[in-house]
Structure 1
Amino acid sequence: MAARLLFQRRAAPLTAAVLVGSIAFSPSLAHAEAPNGRQFPRKPIYDDDLDDPLPTSKTLPAPPKPAAAEPTTPSTSLITLPTTSEPAVIKKETPTDLLAQRIRSARLYLYHHSCILEDAVNSSLSRAFDLEQSFTSTISGLAPDRASGEKLMPGAIYVLVAGMAGSIVARNRNVLLRTATPLALGITAAWTVLPVTMTNVSELLWYYEKKVPAVAEAHLQVREGVEKGVYMAKVHAELAQRKIEEGVREVREGLEGWVRKGK
């Protein structure tokens, strides 16, 4: 029993080695490509795959040729009418379609009037901006140039003081004098203290007066009258001055002659 067990233990490795060697060194043929014939005795699962050959370009049916287009003349192509005998189906408008049309017309109406309102607002803002720019440029143009050396602050105070003095002087007079005296004194002080600024103001007033011909003509007449009055006043002042000088000269000569006679 022991010998049998020993022999089985030694024979098992030898048997395995012989089987491995017989499998490794047994001659066999390796095919690089698939064999042409059937070398496997097993029956395939699908017999039709082996019986029916694969379709090739020779066995496939030829595609049908397209029918030649018949030549048509322009007259026949334009006059050809559909030959359908089915009557035309008239689709009735549903309430949903009518509602959609109403909504579309309302939206177009609102859009049109909103565009008109937007254009009006834009034009109004443009006019307001232009007016503001014109006003600021006009006010800045009234200021005297730096080269002139004229300052507004003390000159404006002097003009106000002159106007207040005129109102104080004419406080017990009638309404016409109480209104004209402060204006006259203030304008006179302005032309005296702020000549450049008053020149700019007068040019601006004349620019707006030219837009109204009647006012411009009246202004010219008043200006001519004032200038003529000033000229005549200067002439009379010169005449009076000459007369006074002549009178003073005569008095002086008379006194000198009287003094000489007295001696």
Structure 2
Amino acid sequence: MAARVLLQRRVAPLTAAVLVGTVAFYPRTAHAEAPSDRQYPRKPIYDDDFDVLALRAKAAPTTATTTAAALPTATPPSPTEEALPATTPVPAAAAPSSPFESTTTTTTVLRTRAPTPTDRLASQIRLARLFVYAQACTVEDAVNGAMARAFALEQSFTSTVASLAPARESGEKLMPGLIYVLVAGMAGSIVARNRNVLLRGAAPLALGLGAAWTVLPVTMGNVSGLVWEYEKRVPAVADAHLRTREGVERGVYMARVHADLAQRKVYEGVREAREALEGWVRKGK
């Protein structure tokens, strides 16, 4: 029992000394900076442009042939691509003659990765913003078109009303002429108040139009021209207007012809009566 206790007291310090020496003198490489290669096969949290720039700086000493073979295009890597360093052995023909030169070159290998939920959310937000922008542009164009049509209608109305007024050199005044037209229309309604409905509606209109063409000929000419422009948009109405106008003009012409014939007959009758009377007077003498 005493020997066992003595043995434990001597062996325990010896064992502790061996363990401390093993830990202290174990060969290990101490890095002053982070190692160039990744020691743990873990995916990086962020894939930004700083890693790409660092890899390009490492790949700068490579030859033009190796770079052209590794990167066929000069386009930068997309956000969904991850750049990883890789070593490519130099061919035997291009091997360095000196043993101190490096026999490997560093190139950049592009490896695609699946889009993250953040990327998908960003793409959906982009689509939503584009949709809202398109709808806003559509609404803005519709409002601008409506305002342009309203302004054009207002300008057309004002220019049309201004074109109906008589010119200054014509000497025609609207104010007394309009009063005369209203008085003529009221007189027609008074005259035909005891007649049928058709006559009571036609008499004021006929007397008013007659007075307007009499006292405001220039203004009525402008109004008739404007009405004709609107009638030409409807061919049936324009044709009916032309036929009616031709009929009225033909009736007026025939009335004038018959009036001239009647006047001639009256003149001839009066002349014959006067000649007969003069003959009787001569015979009486």
Q: TM-score, normalised by structure 2?
A: 0.59
Equivalent position of 2:64 in the other structure: 72
C-alpha spacing 1:117/1:251, structure 2 compared with 1 (3 Å): same
Equivalent position of 2:3 in the other structure: none
Equivalent position of 1:59 in the other structure: none
- Deviations 1:234-254 (CA, angstroms, capped at 9, x unpaired): 111111222222333334444
2:212 and 2:271 map into 1 onto residues whose CA distance is 39
C-alpha spacing 1:90/1:130, structure 2 compared with 1 (3 Å): closer
Equivalent position amino acid for 1:206 in 2? W
Equivalent position of 1:138 in the other structure: 160
1:213 and 1:70 map into 2 onto residues whose CA distance is 85
SS of the counterpart of 2:117?
coil
SS of the counterpart of 2:194?
coil
Q: 1:91: Cα distance to partner?
A: 6.2
The answer to whether residue 188 in structure 2 is matched with residue 129 in structure 1 is no
Equivalent position amino acid for 2:243 in 1? Q
CA RMSD of aligned residues (A): 2.9
1:196 and 1:88 map into 2 onto residues whose CA distance is 84
Equivalent position of 2:217 in the other structure: 195
1:70 and 1:105 map into 2 onto residues whose CA distance is 42
Count of matched residue pairs: 192
Q: 1:172: Cα distance to partner?
A: 1.8
The answer to whether residue 202 in structure 2 is matched with residue 180 in structure 1 is yes
1:77 and 1:218 map into 2 onto residues whose CA distance is 87
Give ranges in structure 1 of 5+ residues lacking alignment. Answer: 1-67
Equivalent position amino acid for 1:143 in 2? A
SS of the counterpart of 1:161?
helix
Greater strand share, 1 or 2?
2
Q: 1:182: Cα distance to partner?
A: 1.1
Higher Cα Rg, which structure: 1
Q: TM-score, normalised by structure 1?
A: 0.64
1:159 to 178, 181, 185: 181
2:247 to 225, 245, 248: 225
Equivalent position amino acid for 1:72 in 2? A
Equivalent position of 2:90 in the other structure: none
1:137 and 1:70 map into 2 onto residues whose CA distance is 79
The answer to whether residue 83 in structure 2 is matched with residue 83 in structure 1 is no
Equivalent position amino acid for 1:236 in 2? H
